[in-house]
A and B are shown apart, each in its own frame.
Chain A
Amino acid sequence: MPTYLAIDGFLAALFVVFSLGVIATRQMLGTLYLFMLNSLALTASAVLIGIALGSPHLFWVAAITFSTKVIAIPLVLRWSAGPQIYERREVEQVLTIPVAVLIAAVLALVAWIVSAPLVHAISDRPFAAINLPTGLVAIFFGAFTVAVRREAIAQLMGILIMESGAFFASISIVNDLSIITEVAAAVDLPVIALVIGLLIRNIHRVTGITRVGLLAELKEHR
């Protein structure tokens, strides 16, 4: 078990680094690649914990994560959002990248502190001490990405990173999700990517931009 825990710790570190990358990278395409790498770390952690705990359900989770997040979502986005997603361009930020990274570091610390009572309450799951705080860090990073990125695709990646964070935490404690839940989760994410991708395409078609942070017509006072 110590070896498995050590490897899982390494995967958790990668997971956090890739999540942070989605906040910090300047390149549009980079956010997508980092999300795919982040999903790969989640897949690997699910396989590892599945082997360590002898839980075949986690192999399903790994297979679903890989097929939906690493393969299906980039393809669905390419089809739905249109070619602008693959353009080489910079992502606009509300904050400068150093400030964003600094705030992300504080968020990571907060996530670690906040998850402490939860980790204590779930002391019978050895991987929870690694995966729960890591998952919460990714959830915070994802929400922060939505807040500071002006680009629609980058914001979508933030939402998906949050979902990955929730699952990174849960694989350490819930290793027997019902089949219906797994199938529903597998269908749910590509549908979310499809609809949001189509929405991004419509925004681009009507406004000429995908920098949703610049859309500011709706105000209480005119």
Chain B
Amino acid sequence: MTLAWILIVPAIATLAALASRRAAPWVTLASAVVVLALSANAALMVAGGATLHEAFGGLSLDALSAVYLLLVAFVGVTAALYSIGYLRVHDAGHEGTTPRYRAYWPLYNLFMISMLGVPLVSDLAVIWIAIELTTIFSAFLVAYENRSAALEAAWKYVALTSVGAMIALFGMLVLYYGIHHAGQPVTWPGLLAAAPSLPPALLLVCFVLWLVGFGTKAGLVPMHTWLPDAHSQAPASICALLSGVEVSGALYMLLRIYPALVRNPGIAHPGNWYLVAGLLSVAVAAFLLLQVHDFKRLFAYSTIEHMGVILAACGLGMGAHELGTVYQFFAHAFTKSFCFYAAGMATIVFGTQEIAKVRGLMSRAPVAGWALLLGGLAIAGAPPFALFISEFQILATGFATGQYVATGLLTALLVLAFIAILYQVGRIVFGEPAQAAPRMKLPASSLAAMAIAFVPMLVFGFYLPPPLQALIHQAAALLGGTP
């Protein structure tokens, strides 16, 4: 019942949060901690290559889905903890009395359930429903500010990602036919088993529909326009969830169909689709990072860049790339959530997100300053942080396998993004504040959440615990097409 409890616990927390507004934050946090413990336990069980099945096959977990599950659960804990202090300061003492605050915690739990459902549910059509529900449950979290700009961002988010979801739905239903017609269950292993016998036109059409549909949700260029708007308006804790794990959920779908494309003998070089889509996203994001004016949008564009890197890494081909792809997917989640926590602290300190208006974060709030600097270094891919390892792995394997043009281009774009991020972060962190002001005291729970998120961001750059190492290797093997 481990897998079922991962969904049941936040469902109970939703009801409890509805029943008691005072207890809602703590119930949510407790639920997130329990979900993390259950997820870690389930991930340990599949780290050796096994697959868990529950609820008459309705729920299942393999190594690749366990990686995503762990990420959702981990960011779920830190974002809940961060929210407690952040919303208190953000709402300036009115928390608990506003309708938006009362709605925040039940919606947070529903959002978590939908995201946890993506790796846990077996049936592909139900996974699509879970992905669509992530948008629906997070719409009001994006619109938390309840101002014109926040509602505009929420509308763009809902409208564009729903259009994407409907396009992906068409692909999903056609794929449903193909897998079923091949006599396989409509699950990930069923897709892999059916892939060699599926008509190439059918599989390719489904993939293209997914690339456009789920690509919209993942923020791939040119369907990315909702992403910076939503991230500039949503509370930092929600940005952490959106950027850290929600958009990765859509990318997870594209990663899971990849081995099926490779297995189909009628589809030549499926990796090229991934490579082109990935490089385009990295390129556009890298240039936008240079001219961005809002520091939350900065990290949003960095998410687009990272989604592109993951896709491009996947497209670079067979072999060690899968490891780099999975590690990038893994490291992005906690690094990006940390960055948004730091950006949220900077917003509290300055009361604005405009880069041109903020200077000297280090002297106004040294903890926030250091956090933003370290987060910027980590997300840009500097050593010794986890993303350095994954990006180095991707580029080294690319050159080692003779893919000089694509890897060279990716390297150049990553260098450009690196410079852009550090230039923008440097403008915020260093220098003298425009106005003299006392040092800010930041909310303790938010600082605690940042401290927790910082640990994997740093430690996984040079040490990965053996069970996690085994899990990531197994996930990479699954991405490579090993059933």
Distance to closest chain A CB from B459 (angstroms): 36
Contact A199 B174 (CB under 8 A): no
Checking A124, A125, A162, A199 against B166 with a beta-carbon cut-off of 8 angstroms, the contacting residue is A162
List A contacts of B137 (CB < 8 A). 195
Contact A191 B228 (CB under 8 A): no
CB within 8 Å of B: which A107-163 residues: 117-118, 120-122, 124-125, 135-136, 139, 142-143, 146, 152, 155, 158-159, 162-163
List B contacts of A178 (CB < 8 A). 123, 125, 186
Contact A206 B125 (CB under 8 A): no
Known contacts A139-B166, A169-B170, A174-B177; A181/B125 CB under 8 A: yes
Contact B159 A135 (CB under 8 A): no
Known contacts A212-B152, A218-B149, A218-B233; A163/B159 CB under 8 A: no
Contact B167 A143 (CB under 8 A): yes
List B contacts of A198 (CB < 8 A). 140
Contact A159 B126 (CB under 8 A): no
Distance to closest chain A CB from B83 (angstroms): 20
Distance to closest chain B CB from A48 (angstroms): 18
List A contacts of B173 (CB < 8 A). 166-167, 169-170, 173-174
Contact A220 B202 (CB under 8 A): no
- Complex CA gap A2/B233 in Å reads 56
Contact B126 A220 (CB under 8 A): no
Checking B162, B176, B181, B292 against A220 with a beta-carbon cut-off of 8 angstroms, the contacting residue is B292
List A contacts of B149 (CB < 8 A). 217-218
Q: Is A37 at the interface (CB under 8 A from chain B)?
A: no
Contact A184 B205 (CB under 8 A): no
- Complex CA gap A152/B385 in Å reads 44
Contact A188 B169 (CB under 8 A): no
Distance to closest chain B CB from A119 (angstroms): 9
The stretch from B28-36, B128-136, B396-404, B427-435 touching chain A is B128-136
Q: Is A90 at the interface (CB under 8 A from chain B)?
A: no
- Complex CA gap A212/B160 in Å reads 13
Checking B126, B133, B147, B354 against A206 with a beta-carbon cut-off of 8 angstroms, the contacting residue is B147
Contact A199 B126 (CB under 8 A): no
Contact A218 B229 (CB under 8 A): yes
Contact B132 A192 (CB under 8 A): yes
Checking A139, A146, A152, A177 against B176 with a beta-carbon cut-off of 8 angstroms, the contacting residue is A177
Contact B155 A199 (CB under 8 A): yes
List B contacts of A180 (CB < 8 A). 58, 123, 126
Q: Is B201 at the interface (CB under 8 A from chain A)?
A: yes
Contact B180 A215 (CB under 8 A): no
- Complex CA gap A199/B174 in Å reads 32
- The digit string for A181-192, where 1 denotes a CB below 8 A from any CB of B, is 100110010011
Contact A170 B166 (CB under 8 A): no
Q: Is B194 at the interface (CB under 8 A from chain A)?
A: no
Q: Is B286 at the interface (CB under 8 A from chain A)?
A: no
- Complex CA gap A151/B162 in Å reads 16
Q: Is A7 at the interface (CB under 8 A from chain B)?
A: no
Distance to closest chain A CB from B327 (angstroms): 31
Contact B129 A215 (CB under 8 A): no
Per the CB 8 Å criterion, the residue count for chain B at the interface is 51
Tell me what chain B mostly uses at the interface: helix, strand, loop, or mixed.
helix
Contact A185 B129 (CB under 8 A): yes
- Complex CA gap A155/B161 in Å reads 13
List B contacts of A143 (CB < 8 A). 163, 166-167
Distance to closest chain B CB from A187 (angstroms): 8
List B contacts of A185 (CB < 8 A). 125, 129
Checking A117, A122, A162, A188 against B177 with a beta-carbon cut-off of 8 angstroms, the contacting residue is A122
Q: Residue on B with the closest CB to A118?
A: B205
Q: Is A67 at the interface (CB under 8 A from chain B)?
A: no
Distance to closest chain A CB from B173 (angstroms): 4
Checking A120, A195, A199, A202 against B201 with a beta-carbon cut-off of 8 angstroms, the contacting residue is A120
Distance to closest chain B CB from A161 (angstroms): 9
- Complex CA gap A9/B287 in Å reads 49
Contact B139 A195 (CB under 8 A): yes
Q: Is B151 at the interface (CB under 8 A from chain A)?
A: yes
List A contacts of B146 (CB < 8 A). 202, 206
Distance to closest chain B CB from A177 (angstroms): 7
- Complex CA gap A176/B186 in Å reads 12
Contact B136 A217 (CB under 8 A): no
List B contacts of A122 (CB < 8 A). 174, 177, 199, 202
Q: Is A101 at the interface (CB under 8 A from chain B)?
A: no
List B contacts of A202 (CB < 8 A). 143, 146, 151
- Complex CA gap A122/B133 in Å reads 30
Distance to closest chain A CB from B401 (angstroms): 32
Contact B228 A220 (CB under 8 A): yes
Q: Is B158 at the interface (CB under 8 A from chain A)?
A: yes
- The digit string for B273-305, where 1 denotes a CB below 8 A from any CB of A, is 000000000000000100111000100000000
List B contacts of A217 (CB < 8 A). 148-149, 152
Q: Is B232 at the interface (CB under 8 A from chain A)?
A: yes
Distance to closest chain A CB from B214 (angstroms): 14
- Complex CA gap A164/B400 in Å reads 48
List A contacts of B476 (CB < 8 A). none
Q: Is A63 at the interface (CB under 8 A from chain B)?
A: no
- The digit string for B233-246, where 1 denotes a CB below 8 A from any CB of A, is 10000000000000
Q: Residue on B with the closest CB to A185?
A: B129
List A contacts of B153 (CB < 8 A). 218
Q: Is B254 at the interface (CB under 8 A from chain A)?
A: no
Which of B149, B162, B170 gathers the greatest number of chain A CB atoms within 10 Å? B170
- Complex CA gap A147/B136 in Å reads 20
Contact B293 A220 (CB under 8 A): yes
Contact A170 B174 (CB under 8 A): yes
Q: Is B154 at the interface (CB under 8 A from chain A)?
A: yes
Contact A159 B205 (CB under 8 A): no
Q: Residue on A with the closest CB to B176?
A: A174
Known contacts A165-B170, A166-B173, A181-B123; A192/B136 CB under 8 A: yes
Task: A169-B173, A174-B176 given; name 4 further pairs at CB < 8 Å.
Answer: A121-B199, A139-B167, A202-B151, A217-B148
Residues of A within 8 A of B (CB): 117-118, 120-122, 124-125, 135-136, 139, 142-143, 146, 152, 155, 158-159, 162-163, 165-167, 169-170, 173-174, 176-178, 180-181, 184-185, 188, 191-192, 195-196, 198-199, 202-203, 206-207, 212, 215-218, 220-222
- 5 A-B pairs, CB-CB below 8 angstroms? A159-B159, A166-B169, A195-B158, A199-B158, A221-B293
5 smallest A-B Cβ distances: which pairs?
Answer: A162-B166, A170-B173, A121-B199, A215-B152, A173-B177
